[in-house]
Amino acid sequence: MENFFKLVPEQISTGWMAPLVAVVFACWHFFRKQAELEKMVAEQNDKVASLQSALEQQIKSKELLHKRMLDLQTQMDEIDALLVDARVSIKASADSIFIKNPYSEDILVFLMAHGPAADKVAKLQISIKGSQAGKVFSSKQTSMYSENTAAQRHDGRLDKKSGYQSKNMLTKPLLRHGNEVVGVVQFLNEDADTPFGVADEKNIEVICNKLALAVGAIVAEPSNLVNLGMVFDPQVSQATLVFTDISHSESLFRSIPVADASAMIDEYLERLSRIGLQFDARIDKYLGDGILFSFESQTSSVENASKAVQAALLMQTEFQKILSEWKRLGYQLPLAHRVGIASGAVFGRRMGYAQSCAYTVMGLPVHMAAGLCNEARYVSGHTLVCPETYRQAQGRLIGSVNFQQHTQQDGQICYEIESN
């Protein structure tokens, strides 16, 4: 080794070092950037995979729900046909089937109803105490009521709501396997001179046995009643709602062809929905150029609120990207994006016309989120959260999100949020 160093001149020119260092630095910089790029690609792939998984899960859930709803509809059609036979058999003018709300101790709900006032009462809940249906459900004994037997109990709310005077009623328990009460069937006759009798009860005995089996198959799984829109979903009690909307979106349809404007709105809905799903939101509904997201994970309210706030801020950033892209196409439009967020107690159920009803959440937070979305037009960040969302999320998001108190037009306090 000593002999080797003797061969090295005492004075070495350093001119060759500059290009060597430059080459080494360039290689290091290249490999560093390559590593960063690979990491970025991996992260994006993870996000895409996560989003794809969430989308696939929603698709599977919808497919399962669709199949379940078809099965339920078949069962309901069977019940409907049996009730038609029973009405004809005893010359009844109306009928209904009551079942117990599986999530309440003393409430009956309608499974099905026919007659001139059916649509007016079908959504009412009936107390087991103080009603003919409740009496029969509890006693498992048939009851025959007429307006002349005032001593018998009858829930007058149904008559008040419908404007229909119940003159004669035959109310019979639906007993599966002889003793298990799964519901109550009730027949009405508006002819005061033709009360129901023992012969009528016997005429429908076989039909009622079949009804008991069909009704029993439905009530055996409580979630069936949620899917049919008869009871609230007990799995959803606390949620954070995010309401988004584009301000002045009508300018799109005034200045460009409807087909182009619709495609642009659809792009907005899709790109913001992707962000919501990324943060485990459920897309509750689309409202024109707006979206209602529900963050209702069973983990914790704090996590729901935190995810909702983070998703909302990303949605605002994404909208600015969308707007810039639209402007590059020559669309100079006075658009802004508003977001309102509220947390609290909600109930989920299927609502609306039977053939087109949809699952949605109901409760004060829904209305608060919509109101805050409208109020957000008055703040620079265009995103407002209610005090409960602030209380739940601010501790977890300290340092990453700036919360600024804001007084609404009606004097209520809320908080404007922006990314730090």
pLDDT score recorded for residue 210: 95
Up-side HSE of residue 331: CA atoms within 13 Å toward CB?
Answer: 20
Contact 379, 416 (CB under 8 A): yes
Entry pTM = 0.73
DSSP label of 355: G
- The C-alpha R_g of the chain, in whole angstroms, comes to 32
Give whichever of 1-10, 22-31, 76-85 has the largest mean pLDDT: 76-85
Tell me, which fold does domain 238-419 have in CATH? Answer: Alpha-Beta Plaits (3.30.70)
Q: What is the pLDDT of residues 300-342, one digit of tens each?
A: 889 999 999 999 999 999 999 999 999 998 888 889 999 999 9
Q: What is the pLDDT of residues 198-211, one digit of tens each?
A: 999 999 999 999 99
Whether 10 shows a pLDDT value over 80: the answer reads no
Contact 305, 343 (CB under 8 A): yes
Q: Grade residue 182 by pLDDT with cuts at 50, 70 and 90.
A: very high
What class, spelled out in words, does domain 69-227 have in CATH?
alpha beta
Q: What is the pLDDT of residues 61-77, one digit of tens each?
A: 656 656 787 888 899 99
Q: Which of 46-50, 142-146, 274-278, 373-377 bottoms out in mean pLDDT, i.e. has the lowest?
A: 46-50
Q: Which tokens in the block code for residue 112?
A: 């099905």
Q: Grade residue 4 by pLDDT with cuts at 50, 70 and 90.
A: very low
At position 135, the amino acid (one-letter code) is: K
pLDDT score recorded for residue 26: 72
DSSP label of 410: T
To which residue do tokens 């009871």 refer? 231
407 Cβ contact partners less than 8 Å away, ≥ 6 residues apart:
413
Closest to 345 measured CA to CA, from 241, 242, 237, 243:
237
The domain locations on the chain are: 69-227, 238-419
Instruction: Quote the percentage of the chain above a pLDDT of 70.
Output: 83
Question: What is the mean pLDDT of the segment spanning 22-29?
Answer: 72
Q: Report the mean per-residue pLDDT for the chain.
A: 85
Q: Grade residue 164 by pLDDT with cuts at 50, 70 and 90.
A: low
Residue 318 burial (CB count, 10 A): 16
